[in-house]
Amino acid sequence: MSQFFQIHPENPQLRLVKQAVDILRKGGVVVYPTDSGYAIGCHLGEKQAQDRIKRIRKLDDKHNFTLMCRDLSDIGVYAKVDNTQYRLLKTFTPGAYTFILDATNEVPRRLLNPKRRTIGVRVPDNAIVQALLGELGEPIMSSTLILPGESDPMTDPYDIRDTLEHELDLIIDGGFCGMEPTTVVNFTGEVPVVTRVGKGDPTPFEV
């Protein structure tokens, strides 16, 4: 049976944030709000928790997880960023973008694209996630909460609880946060390539 925290979307209660981070550190699987819908995530080092997420969403080994990062300094630990990329990232983070970058050796192999050493990273513009990441001190390994056979993500924390309360350790209710996915920008080539248009404005990255 999962726990259910109602956390204020603008002024997150520190007591609940600390409890949520403790659940993550102990290998828990958590659903939490972002600036583009609800995500399901776990601690970066917890392979069993990652396997649970893959079972819930029925994902294969080709699925690309995203590292939810607090800021650019976090991104720089896990992804290779040159000066031009850094300036763009600085301008458009935090925001509803996922950036595909070449990974550093800090990223566990099981998280990488199986064909290329790339990783998706993003800095969400959401007070609850920022509070979680600040308390945790490292990224949360995440995926959008879309159930098998569905094309749209889950958006209602009470529906999430009714459907998945026996599969999760914690559901954070942060109110409605939309259902439009992030815009995905691939930075691994010579020029940025927008591979999915979503909530973030793709115009600055279109050559």
Question: CA 123, CA 3: separation in Å to the nearest integer?
Answer: 26
Host H or E run for residue 183: strand 183-186
Residue bearing tokens 């079972």: 55
> Nearest to residue 142, comparing CAs of 162, 175, 172, 186?
172
Mean pLDDT within 110-127: 86
| 193 burial level (CB within 10 Å; 0-12, 13-18, 19+) | middle
The residue behind tokens 């590292």 is 67
Q: Is the pLDDT of residue 207 over 70?
A: no
- Report residue 146 as tokens: 């879309």
pLDDT of residue 130: 97
Query: Model confidence over 61-116: pLDDT tens digits?
Result: 777 889 999 999 999 999 999 998 999 999 999 999 999 999 998 888 887 766 78
Q: Please, which residues bridge with residue 186 across strands?
A: 100, 193
Contacts of 41 (CB under 8 A, 6+ apart): 24, 29, 30, 31, 32, 53, 68, 140, 141, 142, 143
**Contact yes or no for 41/138 (Cβ under 8 A):** no
Residue 5 confidence (pLDDT): 97
pLDDT in tens, 149-164: 888 888 899 999 999 9
Domains annotated on the chain, with CATH = 3-197 (3.90.870.10)
Distances (CA, A) of 154 to 37, 56, 60, 162: 8, 13, 20, 12
Torsion-angle region of 137 (φ positive above 0: left; ψ -120 to 50: alpha; else: beta): left
Residue 182 CB neighbour total at 10 angstroms: 24
Q: Residue 50 pLDDT more than 70? A: yes
Query: Residue 105 corresponds to which tokens in the numbers above?
Result: 């050796």
